[in-house]
Chains A and B, each alone.
Chain A
Amino acid sequence: MITVSNLVKKFGDFIAVDNISFDVKKGEIFAFLGPNGAGKSTTIKMLTTLLHPTSGSVDINGHDPVRHQHEVRQSFGIVFQDPSLDDELTAYENMYFHAVLYKAAGAGVKQRIHELLDFVELWDKRDVLVKNFSGGMKRRLEIARSFLHHPKIIFLDEPTIGLDPQTRNSMWSYIRELNQREQTTVFFTTHYMEEAERVAQRIAVIDHGKIIARGTAEELKRQTNTANLEDAFLQLTGRAMREEEASGADRLRGAFMRRRGGTR
């Protein structure tokens, strides 16, 4: 469903993604783990047509994100790491606009929106402007929206940041249910290791732009001789904290998010 070979992304001299290769099978739940600044979001942006790779090739549902953007965009749904809702619209409008953009606004769309909003427990708030939502509510809405058009692949870039344990749990059970029922392939990143350990069927660990380990949670634990995935992760990536160089825009956004009570 996803095949990546020798993918590279450079920003000037800086190599954010350094010659990575992996594949994700249809219907699989795949976790992409790594410390801050490892290159996870950059990889997702290349897979989802938002950034052009410096070199290497990508195949998403049989299409190349560089040459066949349209087909690729039809294949996936995405929850970005940063918010991507329109604050001046209501929850329902955000869903409906998405349906129109994805040509999914035919008969049955109201039913679908109702079902999804119900699931993330926002149906009662459907006519509230998103700017009045809490961070967690926004996140739930984004998750519901990403499933709206029945995508074959779903990319979730830290979908659970800022969510309480209740919501995180029900979110993953919903994602697993959809994964079972609609055979949706799930590609996600997270910094919660126990979440990855519980949900992911396979894991790749990326650090400094390179994939340094891959396998099931069991395999990674065995390989590092540790008891849980968090320890395995620390063992693999070291204990030093990462100095992430944020671009001007990122810093600005970061400051903004912190002021709002922060979801990072």
Chain B
Amino acid sequence: MSTIYIMWLRQVKRYLRSRSRIIGALGQPILYLLALGYGLGQVFARAGQGNYMEFLVPGVIGMSVLFTSMFNGVEMIWDRQFGFLKETMVAPVSRFNIMLGRVLGGATVATFQGLIVFILSFGVGFRMPMSHPAGYVLSGVFFMFLMALFFTALGTGIASLLTDFQGFQLIMSFVVMPTYFLSGAIFPLDHLPSLMSYITRIDPLTYGVDGLRGSLILSNHFSLGLDFLIMAALCLLMLSVGSYLFSQIEV
């Protein structure tokens, strides 16, 4: 228990101490909100799809959570290169707890980052369409956390297989970007060409963002229950695979 806590605390402290990273990581979501939200809003409304900013905000929160958590997971390569990983690898505690603490810490940070984007989105005109939003916000935060957990565990699992930075760009191009663009974060899932519709359905982010939409704007493609079940199952699966890979690390 104390191991999980201390590894969690480490990730959180590192995050809070890197102001430039927090701010840097906000640039992209804000750009998406402004460019897409205002740029495509007219088209979206004319196509009879309603308010695009409303639709887009959960997607951009999802993106922010995705990027932050993947980065946090993959950041383990740095620890491996510059040492701290070894310190944890020889400690007389279970590697599962180390990995779990680490992943929970990364997920906390990513959820927090998602919350900041959520709050900022009110500044660009986002409004929640319900009169008593507290419960819905909670449900939204919960979905952010599920996404964060899944992608941090995925990043950590991938980082367990890599020994240097060379794979990092590959992960960005072939895992993170496709996950984002093929998830329905920025476009609606109905009336897609069948191949596209198939691909979006195997993208984990799809269900996270859909759950977020169901919570924050009360309009989603699947149901909240289904989104939750799929995300929870994916988290369990990824934590098991990730911790297995982590336990196999040799330094």
Q: Which A positions have Cβ atoms within 8 angstroms of B? A: 45, 48-52, 70-71, 73-74, 76, 78, 80, 82-89, 93, 97-98, 100-103, 105, 129, 247-249, 252-253, 256
Most A CB atoms within 10 A — which of B18, B92, B251?
B92
A-binding segment of B83-91, B112-120, B196-204, B205-213: B83-91
Bound-state CA distance A100–B9 (Å) is 12
Contact B2 A88 (CB under 8 A): no
Q: Report chain B residues within 8 Å CB of A252.
A: 81, 164-165
Query: A50 and B17: CB pair below 8 A?
Result: no
Identity of the chain B residue whose Cβ is nearest the Cβ of A87 in the assembled complex: B82
B187 shortest CB reach to chain A, Å: 38
A45 neighbours in B (Cβ, 8 Å): 251
Q: Is there contact, CB below 8 Å, between B88 and A101? A: yes
B66 → chain A closest CB, angstroms: 23
Which of A80, A87, A102, A129 meets B86, CB within 8 Å?
Answer: A80
A50-B90 in contact (CB<8A): yes
Q: Would you list the 8 A-B pairs with minimal beta carbon distance, nearest first?
A: A73-B92, A84-B83, A101-B91, A74-B92, A100-B6, A83-B83, A84-B87, A86-B84
Given contacts A84-B84, A86-B84, contact A78 B10 (CB under 8 A): no
Find out whether the CB atom of B250 lies under 8 angstroms from the CB atom of A80. Answer: no
12 contacting pairs across A/B (C-beta < 8 A): A50-B89, A50-B90, A74-B92, A89-B14, A97-B6, A100-B2, A129-B17, A247-B163, A249-B81, A249-B164, A252-B81, A253-B81
B13 within 8 A of A: yes
Q: Is there contact, CB below 8 Å, between B86 and A88?
A: no
* B124 at interface, CB cutoff 8 A: no
**A68 vs chain B, min Cβ distance (A):** 11
B219 at the interface (CB under 8 A from A): no
B34 within 8 A of A: no
- In angstroms, how far is the closest chain B Cβ from the Cβ of A83? 5
Q: How far is the CA of A214 from the CA of B209 in the complex (A)?
A: 65
How distant is A197 from chain B, measured CB to nearest CB, in Å?
29
Cβ-defined contact, A84 with B86, below 8 A = yes
State the CA gap A88–B89 with chains docked (Å): 19
Over the window 1-17 of chain B, the binary record of Cβ atoms lying under 8 Å from chain A Cβ atoms (1 yes, 0 no) is 01101100010011001
With contacts A45-B251, A84-B87, A102-B91 taken as known, whether A89 is within 8 angstroms of B10 at the C-beta atoms is: yes
Contact between A85 and B93 (Cβ–Cβ < 8 Å)?
no
Measured between beta carbons, the chain B residues less than 8 angstroms from A78 are 90
Residue of B nearest to A97 (CB): B6
Q: A88-B14, A100-B3 are in contact. Are A70 and B92 (CB under 8 A)?
A: yes
Within 8 A of A (CB), among B9-31: 10, 13-14, 17-18
Contact A88 B17, CB 8 Å, known A83-B83, A100-B3, A252-B164? yes
Q: A10 CB to closest chain B CB, in angstroms?
A: 14
Instruction: Check B86–A50 contact: CB distance below 8 A.
Output: yes
List B residues 44-99 near A (Cβ within 8 Å): 79, 81-93
Which residues from A are CB-within-8-Å of B83?
A: 80, 82-85
Q: Tell me, rounded to whole Å, the shortest Cβ–Cβ distance linking A145 to chain B.
A: 8
A93 with B13: CB separation less than 8 A: yes
- Rounded to whole Å, the gap between the CB of B37 and the closest CB of chain A is 35
Assembled-state Cα–Cα distance A86/B86 (Å): 11
- Complex CA–CA separation, A104 to B115 (angstroms): 36
For the complex, give the distance between the alpha carbons of A263 and B10 in Å.
26
* Closest CB in chain B relative to A178 CB, distance in Å: 19
Question: Contact mask B146-165 → A, CB, 8 Å, 1/0?
Answer: 00000000000000000111
